[in-house]
Amino acid sequence: MQTLEKTVMKGGEFIIKQVEASEIFTPEDFNEEQRMVSETCQEFIEKEVLPHLDLIDSHKDPEIMPKLLDEAGKLGLLGTSVPTEYGGFGMDFNTSMLVAEVIGASHSFAVALSAHTGIGTLPILYYGNEEQKMQYLPKLASGEFKAAYCLTEPDSGSDANSGKSKAVLSADGKNYVLNGQKMWITNGGFADVFTVFAKIDSDENLSAFIVEKSFPGITMNAEEEKMGIKGSSTRQIFFNDCVVPVENLLSERGNGFKIAVNILNIGRAKLAAAAIGACKATIKHSIQYAQERKQFGVSIGSFGAIQSKLAEQSARTFASESAIYRAGKNIEDAIDSLQTGGMSPEQAKLKGVEQFAIECAILKVHGSETLDYVVDEGVQIFGGMGYSADAPMERAYRDSRINRIFEGTNEINRILAVGTLLKKAMKGQLDLIGPAMRVQKEIMGIPEFGNEPTEPLEVAKKTISNLKKSFLMVAGAAFQKIGLAFEREQEVMMFLADMMIEIYVAESAWLRVEKNGLKPFEMQMAQLYLNMAGEICQKAGKHSINAFASGDEQHMLLLGLKRFTKTQPVNVVALTRGIAAEMLKQ
């Protein structure tokens, strides 16, 4: 166990530690069994889901989504994370991420399946007692029961603990009487089991309850009309003196907010994986159209303006995908370490994910914003046809937008990532002070000249190391200046989050390139992405410094930022043409 503890990465530690390529997991590392799971998912959505997207979105057949979930259940796709003793497959974290990725290309169905397998099932899996698990998990894994998650209320969104739903113990002590209103409930129209959050009496914190659709006192509004994911069932649900047996209290009284937070961490990582699946499907359509569409006598894929879009779609997706499975392996390693130390599998999974809350927030932001970029450029590549409902880009464009709001808005997740990092530092769980002080000392010294690396991998490693220094310099100076009021400076926190996100993702891409043997196509995408990441870090760092510093301090910090965010000149045109040529060939 001592050896394991030395090698297991800590959440947020990437910002102060050099990571070896051999330590990470890449999509190329999936084994034969995992690839077979991926192929099963792909075949299912191609045969059963994609041909029926218009019908799904129309809500003309309200039974089609439950039927598709039934079919997915028969294939085992609803029980990937459920242990075998409860009727599932008990797959590891990265395999469940792979399933989320492939299913992510199925539009509204992806939302329904993700809600069922994630926020619908996991609260019972991780927090339920043995009786609750035996009662509900086998039916959830098979699809006999469909699941939903009832947290959001009209006046409580990001501030989930401010919910007004109440539960009162009945006079005979056998039931809770639940009253409240929940909104934006995915799968609400057909779910059999709801995880409902409410405060018992005048408690400060939420509790969680397992509520069956058959319980008295449940009513709901009609289906919501939405911008996108139109086929996803989304309803407001009302609990009017809903009678819930006391044995359906999930976990302990007052533990609901903790349940909500921890389940959302998992949901954020899975959402990022699903977004990458949607990116890949969109890129495939973009390439096909660029090859087929002729203008001025040639395919539009031969035009530099189109090639630059294809290349950036690919580079961003490659980098985001690299970060997703790198984080997934870190989480798996943490889970294994905790289980080796004697923790139960369920507790280990929760704690393992919780340790990487920073990375989960990073993945969610980057994955959702990568998808938004990819679909936007997909529409542009299609031109006028991109705006037509007869072509695939119109649905892809409107369905993508919700992902920046799902699982906590991207603003909340940016603030969460930086806030959690600083809290870890203040608790002594992560040594940020030592590295930050070394960086401060370095910027006061004379820069070294000469012996600059020339090989692309070594150049990238030095660039990423310097970007980490730029973050430590800006974050350290900001915290020294602002102090305990730091969390009220949300703009500064979001600038710092942008730096963190780009550093993590760019490093992930290059670690993947190194582990896979420096393949030219992958190197080109990693180079293009790192060039973009450096520019974002420079801009975000400058805005952050200018927000809290002035005079000589401001001047010194800006000079340090320029020094640490300096990147080697890159011929972006040559890179994008090379990437696009390979994409079109493949």
Quote the CA–CA distance of 394 and 378 in Å, as a whole number.
9
Residues 6+ apart with CB under 8 A from 143: 69, 70, 71, 72, 73, 74, 78
Q: What is the structure's pLDDT at 226?
A: 96
Quote the CA–CA distance of 372 and 272 in Å, as a whole number.
12
All structural domains of the chain with their residue ranges: 262-408, 432-585
Residue 516, CA distances (Å) to 27, 107, 394, 525, 540 in order: 10, 31, 36, 13, 31
Catalytic choice (407, 489, 514, 522): 407
Q: pLDDT confidence of 454, banded at 50, 70, 90?
A: confident
Read off the pLDDT of each residue in 204-228 and give the average, rounded to a whole number: 96
Q: pLDDT confidence of 196, banded at 50, 70, 90?
A: very high
Q: pLDDT confidence of 444, banded at 50, 70, 90?
A: confident
Which of 115, 99, 240 shows the shortest CA–CA distance to 165? 240
Long-range contact set of residues 453-462: C-beta below 8 Å, sequence gap at least 24: 456/518, 456/523, 456/527, 457/510, 457/513, 457/514, 457/518, 459/568, 460/510, 460/526, 460/527, 460/530, 461/510
Single-letter residue type at 192: D
Q: pLDDT confidence of 156, banded at 50, 70, 90?
A: confident
Q: pLDDT confidence of 441, banded at 50, 70, 90?
A: confident
For domain 262-408, give the CATH number.
1.20.140.10
Read off the pLDDT of each residue in 236-257 and give the average, rounded to a whole number: 97
Q: What is the structure's pLDDT at 5?
A: 43
- 3-class DSSP state of 537: helix
Q: Are 307 and 577 in contact (CB under 8 A)?
A: yes
Number of H helices, E strands in the chain: 20, 10
Could you check whether 262-408 and 432-585 share the same CATH topology?
Answer: yes
- 3-class DSSP state of 105: helix
pLDDT tens digit sequence for 351-410 = 999 999 999 999 999 999 999 999 999 999 999 999 999 999 999 999 999 999 999 999
Q: What is the structure's pLDDT at 567?
A: 86
pLDDT tens digit sequence for 217-245 = 999 999 999 999 999 999 999 999 999 99
Q: pLDDT confidence of 7, banded at 50, 70, 90?
A: low
Q: Are 408 and 260 in contact (CB under 8 A)?
A: no
Higher pLDDT, 535 or 448: 535
Quote the CA–CA distance of 255 and 394 in Å, as a whole number.
42
Read off the pLDDT of each residue in 430-453 and give the average, rounded to a whole number: 84
Scored b (16 or more CB within 10 A) or e, 30-68 reads beeebeebbeebeebbeebbbeebeebbebeeeebbbeb
Burial class (CB in 10 A: 0-12, 13-18, 19+), 542: middle
Single-letter residue type at 507: E
Over 60: is that where the pLDDT of 1 sits?
no
pLDDT tens digit sequence for 486-496 = 889 999 999 99
225 given a catalytic annotation: no
Output the CA torsion 549→413→360→498 (10° steps): -40
Q: pLDDT confidence of 450, banded at 50, 70, 90?
A: low
Write the DSSP assignment of 252-297 as a string of letters.
Answer: STT-HHHHHHHHHHHHHHHHHHHHHHHHHHHHHHHHHHHHH-EETT
Q: What is the structure's pLDDT at 6?
A: 45
> What are the backbone angles phi and psi of residue 430, rounded to the nearest 5°?
-150, 125
- 3-class DSSP state of 163: coil
pLDDT tens digit sequence for 81-128 = 999 999 999 999 999 999 999 999 999 999 999 999 999 999 999 999
Q: pLDDT confidence of 296, banded at 50, 70, 90?
A: very high
Report pTM.
0.95
Over 70: is that where the pLDDT of 77 sits?
yes
Q: What is the structure's pLDDT at 3?
A: 38
Q: What is the structure's pLDDT at 4?
A: 38
Q: Are 240 and 219 in contact (CB under 8 A)?
A: yes
Quote the CA–CA distance of 313 and 175 in Å, as a whole number.
54
HEC-encoded secondary structure of 297-362: CEEHHHCHHHHHHHHHHHHHHHHHHHHHHHHHHHHHHHHHHHHHCCCCHHHHHHHHHHHCHHHHHH
Read off the pLDDT of each residue in 332-360 and give the average, rounded to a whole number: 93
Tell me 215's DSSP state. S
Q: Does domain 432-585 have CATH number 1.20.140.10?
A: yes
Q: pLDDT confidence of 8, banded at 50, 70, 90?
A: confident
Tell me 424's DSSP state. H
> What are the backbone angles phi and psi of residue 439, rounded to the nearest 5°?
-65, -40
Over 70: is that where the pLDDT of 421 sits?
yes
Q: Are 178 and 217 in contact (CB under 8 A)?
A: yes
Q: pLDDT confidence of 283, banded at 50, 70, 90?
A: very high
Which of 499, 280, 502, 275 shows the shortest CA–CA distance to 405? 275
Over 70: is that where the pLDDT of 347 sits?
yes
Beta bridge partners of 150: 196
